[in-house]
A and B are shown apart, each in its own frame.
Chain A
Amino acid sequence: MARSFSRRDLLGNAARLGALGIGTVGLRASGLGTLTDAGRLARMLAEERADPSLAPSKSALASRKLVLGTLYGGNDGLNTLVPYDDKAYIAQRAAMRILPNQVLPIAHGLGLHPSLIGIKALWDAGHVAIVQGVGYPEPNLSHFASMAIWQAASTDADVSTGWLGRWLDTSGADPLRALSIGPVVPQALVGEAQQASALQDSTSPQAQQVSGSSGFQDLYELVETIAASRTGLENAVALSGSNLVKVGNTAYAALNKEKPLTVANRDGGDFGNQLSVIGECILAGVPAKVYQASMGGFDTHSNELQTQAENLSQVDAAVTALFNGLERDPSAAGTVLLLYTEFGRRVLANASGGTDHGAANVVFVIGRAVKGGLYGDTPNVSRLDENGNLIHNVDFRSVYATLLEYVVEVESAPLLDGRFSTLGFI
């Protein structure tokens, strides 16, 4: 699978807003995008209707938030946290290896991929935990099966809910508890009866909630009244409609209040956009406990050096922008970001300058509340499994257990279907 364009590559913000039927390039009717008195009134009403707990309270000062950064495709961990002196690494990766003078050194014989300059700075400040050798028994080399395992937190293929979806099932019904960016909510945040709310992948407040002609605002209110109908699916449609009003108003108010989080001269791409939406919500005091952003394009079967460098550069710019932005607000100090992917990659490079699917990988946990450092054992590049892949020594559910207990602040065992010991990174 080659790298994917961000939707921004293909669309550009103006066209995208127009395509949604609002703003500059509206559908072939007039009046949709102009800001009339009715429009201004509608905006005011929206802000009023938004969640009144937007101002951070004292208890929020210590409140922790989990941000999931899902990287799709299988990011190559071996070229992310690089054992640059290791003879086996040098031999098997050959022309595809990262050189000693390229890495950003962080420990004896280990360095970060050169694109990760912002994360390196956060590492130096003690805010980055890197857990090494993360995986699960009997690694699955299928994208979908392995990602499903990570999202379900189970190697049982019949589990269709996610580890945080199951938390949503047991923690009430407020649609603002978990917010995912983009129209499709990943399995991790889907429970039996509930799922995270989804925000639009756009930093424009208007994209989250349309204001404009008063006729539309009326329509919007009526969505709330179309309720229980004949079938379960129709109920689901109705409920998603009424939730969207509350969530849309809240997101609109948050993005209206805050400015987008960016870093000068660096492009965080679509991932940066998503983390910016999340950061702005956090700064605005949106009460969500969990957020989710995602990025694809990591399935580097070919041309890996270039593709991964670009991908990691975007990730780094996005993460840097997020934490620089959150710096302004002490109540955002409890924000913890997890960067994870469905598997690592094959140690031996293929002939297309790429790698096939692998197993054990690194995860990054970043935030001011994090105890920075290396966790887990560095996998032995000379001792591989029967498919030529790195062997794990930390079960990924230990990472989840730690995040559930110390960030989401709930008991992990019922949600993970078993006890997994926590790690010390928080």
Chain B
Amino acid sequence: MSPSERTLLAHLYNRAGFGATKDELNEAELKGWDACVEELIAGLAGSGGDPPPAPKMARMPQQNNNMYNEFMELVDWWVDTMVTTANPLREKLVLLLHNQFPTAISGVGWASMMYDQNQLFRTHGTGPFDVLMRVVSKDPAMMLWLNTAQDVAQSPNENYARELMERFTLGIGHYTQSDVHNGARAFCGWTINYHNGQFMLQDWAIDNNMKTFLGVTGDLDGYDIVNIVTHQPACAPYVTSRLWSWLAYPVTPDNPVVADLAPAFAKGLNVGDLIASMLRHPAFVSEQALAGLVKQPAEYIVGTMRRLGLTSKDFQQGQLDGILASLGQELFNPPNVGGWGHNGYWLSTASSLARLQVAYGIAQVADVSELEEMPVWARIEWIANHLGIAFTERTLEALSVMRDYPQQLLALALISPEYVVN
């Protein structure tokens, strides 16, 4: 098997999952590219029984006085789910959907609601896009985060209608302020039953008058809005460009790759099919794609834990959350509804320092006995194989200085540019 096929396979598992362990890469080389791609795609429909048991969390109408601890455990739970999953592409999609529909526990307040939203991405993320948008719009965490729950006819709250179009489905320039306002009117009455934390329609708050939204006039309600936006011409290119930007390299909706992929998505509106078409597109293994993305902190941590055989049990309570926060990507707590960025976004000096500290910390927790037992000259190659990367001359020079110290060697490898870039 040629090294370059191994490189391609490593790239596949980095992007369509969280990276492959050395054994997985060995197996993949035997199966070949096509079989691996099809296996990943088949895993999209993987059973919902995959994640480990959820932590204990308060739900309405219980008291919510342990939220901070529940949140820490929930982060651990999600990291473990990604580390141990048998369906990496599906779990990768859950992470991408968290980025596409950023919702923060700081604005929601209940760990259980964040968990429910996460499960919603798992259950509905690979199916019809309009169904996904419907359940996202009715999701209690989302309704609290973007104030749908407080949207009443007497005084419509524009937050959700705006972000639904601007960030979630269409992008700026494909709607007007009037659409925002009338969309808000259509969602009036959608709220939460605070006795059980579930979606509820509040009759007195509904706006029963005629509205015009993106050219459609009628006594529109929230379901109509979701239906209309997901069938807008701008929707397929926009959503395609967002997902491609996370899977391959950053693009805008007018990119030629988007022009290839969007039409089928516009017709079938199936997210799973869209993802599959992305993996099968030649640009997915182009030079641009191979060098195109800095690992998101979640990918970096999960991928490293997978390759080194670590789970949340190897860390103290709250430590994984602190690590992700210091790297700039605190799961379940994005800074705002814009979510996170790409590439240079992750490369400030502060996050580089945090990455250095994290790498050193992880190297101390990992089991490096195999490294210690082997001849010094073989260590770097062992690490390169385990991490699934090829070091450049400069990096090899720097690494050789540390050959005698397995932990430091591993830490240094973990902050090498080759490993930090996907």
Seen from chain A, the residues whose Cβ lies within 8 Å of a Cβ on chain B are 1-5, 7, 10-11, 15-16, 18-22, 25-29, 32, 72-73, 141-145, 157, 175, 180-185, 190, 195, 197-201, 208-210, 215-216, 218-220, 222-223, 225-238, 240-241, 243-244, 247-248, 296, 299, 301-302, 349-352, 354, 356-357, 387
Which A residues are CB-close (under 8 A) to B341? 184
B35 at the interface (CB under 8 A from A): no
Which A residues are CB-close (under 8 A) to B154? 351
B325 touches A357 (CB 8 A): no
Return the chain A residue nearest B360 by Cβ.
A216
Given contacts A143-B338, A233-B421, A21 and B358 within 8 Å (CB-CB): yes
Given contacts A1-B336, A351-B152, A220 and B321 within 8 Å (CB-CB): no
Expressed in whole angstroms, the minimum distance between the Cβ of B252 and any Cβ of chain A is 10
Q: Which 9 A-B pairs have the closest CB atoms?
A: A19-B322, A21-B361, A351-B155, A198-B348, A198-B350, A234-B417, A183-B328, A2-B107, A29-B364
B194 at the interface (CB under 8 A from A): no
B157 touches A27 (CB 8 A): no
Chain B 280-323 residues near chain A, CB threshold 8 A: 291-294, 314-316, 318-323
Expressed in whole angstroms, the minimum distance between the Cβ of A110 and any Cβ of chain B is 27
How would residues 327 to 338 of chain B score, 1 for a CB under 8 Å from any chain A CB and 0 otherwise?
Answer: 110100101111
Seen from chain B, the residues whose Cβ lies within 8 Å of a Cβ on chain A are 68, 71, 104, 106-108, 144-147, 150, 152, 154-159, 162, 166-167, 172, 177, 180, 291-294, 314-316, 318-323, 325-328, 330, 333, 335-338, 341, 343-345, 347-354, 356-358, 360-362, 364-365, 392, 394-395, 397-398, 401-402, 405, 407-408, 411-412, 415-418, 420-421
**Subset of 27 A-B contacts with CB under 8 Å:** A1-B336, A2-B108, A10-B333, A11-B318, A15-B318, A18-B316, A18-B319, A20-B358, A27-B315, A28-B314, A142-B166, A145-B172, A183-B328, A183-B350, A184-B335, A198-B348, A200-B326, A215-B405, A219-B411, A226-B412, A227-B394, A236-B344, A241-B356, A244-B356, A299-B159, A349-B155, A387-B177
B328 touches A184 (CB 8 A): yes
Separation of A219 and B147 alpha carbons in the complex (Å)? 48
| Residue from A73, A215, A240, A299 within 8 A of B349 (CB atoms) | A240
| Residue from B177, B365, B421 within 8 A of A28 (CB atoms) | B365
B417 touches A19 (CB 8 A): no
B353 touches A197 (CB 8 A): no
Return the chain A residue nearest B313 by Cβ.
A28
Expressed in whole angstroms, the minimum distance between the Cβ of A13 and any Cβ of chain B is 11
Return the chain B residue nearest A294 by Cβ.
B335
Given contacts A10-B68, A18-B319, A226 and B395 within 8 Å (CB-CB): yes
B157 touches A223 (CB 8 A): no
Return the chain A residue nearest B394 by Cβ.
A227
Give the tally of cross-chain contacts (CB within 8 A): 258
B418 touches A234 (CB 8 A): yes
A15 touches B322 (CB 8 A): yes
A301 touches B157 (CB 8 A): yes
Return the chain B residue nearest A157 by Cβ.
B172
Separation of A241 and B419 alpha carbons in the complex (Å)? 13
Return the chain B residue nearest A235 by Cβ.
B417
Which B residues are CB-close (under 8 A) to A222? 398, 401-402, 412
A19 touches B394 (CB 8 A): no
Return the chain B residue nearest A28 by Cβ.
B365
Interface centre among B315, B338, B349, B361, by most chain A C-beta atoms within 10 angstroms, is B349
Expressed in whole angstroms, the minimum distance between the Cβ of A54 and any Cβ of chain B is 18
| Residue from B335, B344, B361 within 8 A of A27 (CB atoms) | B361
Expressed in whole angstroms, the minimum distance between the Cβ of B138 and any Cβ of chain A is 19
Separation of A18 and B72 alpha carbons in the complex (Å)? 14
Given contacts A2-B106, A11-B325, A243 and B336 within 8 Å (CB-CB): no
A183 touches B351 (CB 8 A): yes
Separation of A26 and B316 alpha carbons in the complex (Å)? 8
B353 touches A32 (CB 8 A): no
Separation of A366 and B279 alpha carbons in the complex (Å)? 53
Which B residues are CB-close (under 8 A) to A220? 356
B348 touches A180 (CB 8 A): yes
Which A residues are CB-close (under 8 A) to B407? 215
Separation of A28 and B363 alpha carbons in the complex (Å)? 11
Which B residues are CB-close (under 8 A) to A195? 344, 348
A200 touches B412 (CB 8 A): no
